[in-house]
């Protein structure tokens, strides 16, 4: 089987106003012929405008979260179908900021992934250990457990990716060593193959957590790293493009 097509996705989190669309347009102008796919996941309210601004470019637009139900009395929430309706193609699910801040469990993330598939969105499912778990030698067990619990069987044969984001590396400037990243990514791949058979070799496994222009090339060329989920450095076109160009 050929290697998964890499994906570099920018996670803008709760950053960006309509004026930031110019940054997204600059990213689209600069991606050139990079060998992977590129996506930006803006705050939900910018999805529609960004999808329109980037239509006809190589840059896809994604959501940062979506509800597990298709519609209903969930004040403040957004369904996967709503994101798809305004032009999103992917959606980040189970980010640690949602797992920790909103008590999202593996079971909830799996239900969200099912909802994303129903809406035709490609899920980017996030997993990652805390610093305490890493120090206790539990990183591999935690991460592979999250992969087993957060990926529903319906993902078999569908387009999706897994993002390994050590909680302690997000927004901190700290990153695991390359061998540490490779160890976890290989364990995720083995788990995907165990769950989905040969189809488990297709999804790219992204690394996320303090990816910057200065460390992108080394991380992106590590074994079983199929792209990156980029937070802070995706907010500035020049930084994000430098990461894309490191592919
Ligand atoms: P960071 O965030 O690149 O700012 O560390 C990554 C993420 O949370 O997806």
Confidence tier at 3 by pLDDT (50, 70, 90): confident
- Asked if residue 2 has pLDDT above 70, the reply is no
Among the atoms of ligand 1, which is closest to the Cα of residue 171? 5
Residue span of the structural domain in which 143 resides: 7-244
- Asked whether residue 146 is domain-assigned, the answer is yes
- How many structural domains is the chain composed of? 1
3-class secondary-structure state, position 125 = strand
- Asked whether residue 1 is domain-assigned, the answer is no
* Ligand 1 centroid to residue 239 C-alpha, Å: 13
- Residue 32: predicted pLDDT: 87
Question: Active-site residue 165, yes or no?
Answer: yes
pLDDT tens digit string along 101-140?
Answer: 999 999 999 999 999 999 999 999 999 999 999 999 999 9
- Asked whether residue 236 is domain-assigned, the answer is yes
Does 232 contact ligand 1 (Cβ within 6 A)?
yes
pLDDT tens digit string along 11-43?
Answer: 999 999 999 999 999 999 999 888 999 999 999
- Asked whether residue 163 is domain-assigned, the answer is yes
Strand bridging mode 59-63 / 7-11:
unpaired
pLDDT tens digit string along 46-94?
Answer: 999 999 999 999 999 999 999 999 999 999 999 999 999 999 999 999 9
- Asked if residue 205 has pLDDT above 80, the reply is yes
Nearest CA to ligand 1 atom 6: 231
Contact call for residues 206 and 164 (beta carbons, < 8 A): yes
- Asked whether residue 2 is domain-assigned, the answer is no
Question: Active-site residue 52, yes or no?
Answer: no
- Asked whether residue 165 is domain-assigned, the answer is yes
- Asked if residue 162 has pLDDT above 60, the reply is yes
- Asked whether residue 137 is domain-assigned, the answer is yes
Tell me the pTM: 0.97
* Ligand 1 centroid to residue 231 C-alpha, Å: 3
- Asked whether residue 224 is domain-assigned, the answer is yes
- Residue 33: predicted pLDDT: 86
Q: For the domain that residue 214 is a member of, what is the CATH number?
A: 3.20.20.70
- Residue 136: predicted pLDDT: 98
CA distance 181 to 159: 23
């Amino acid at each position: 089987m050929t290697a998964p097509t890499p994906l570099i996705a920018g996670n803008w989190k709760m950053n960006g106003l309509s004026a930031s669309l110019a940054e997204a347009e600059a990213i689209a102008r600069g991606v050139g012929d990079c060998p992977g796919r590129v996506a930006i996941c803006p705050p939900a309210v910018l999805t529609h405008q960004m999808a329109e601004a980037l239509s006809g470019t190589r840059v896809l637009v994604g959501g940062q979260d979506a509800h597990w139900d298709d519609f209903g009395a969930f004040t403040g929430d957004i369904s996967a179908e709503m994101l798809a309706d305004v032009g999103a193609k992917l959606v980040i699910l189970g980010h640690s900021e949602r797992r920790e801040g909103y008590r999202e469990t593996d079971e909830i993330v799996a239900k969200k992934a099912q909802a994303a598939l129903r809406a035709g969105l490609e899920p980017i499912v996030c997993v990652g250990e805390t610093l305490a778990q890493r120090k206790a030698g539990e990183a591999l067990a935690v991460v592979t457990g999250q992969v087993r619990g957060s990926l529903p069987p319906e993902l078999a044969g569908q387009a999706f990716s897994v993002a390994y984001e050590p909680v302690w590396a997000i927004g901190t400037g700290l990153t695991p060593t390359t061998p540490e990243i490779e160890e976890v990514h290989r364990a995720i791949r083995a788990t995907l193959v165990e769950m989905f058979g040969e189809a488990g070799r297709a999804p790219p496994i992204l690394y996320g957590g303090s990816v910057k222009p200065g460390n992108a090339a080394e991380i992106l060329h590590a074994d079983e790293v199929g792209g990156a989920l980029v937070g802070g450095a995706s907010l500035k076109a020049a930084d994000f493009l430098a990461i894309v160009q490191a592919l």
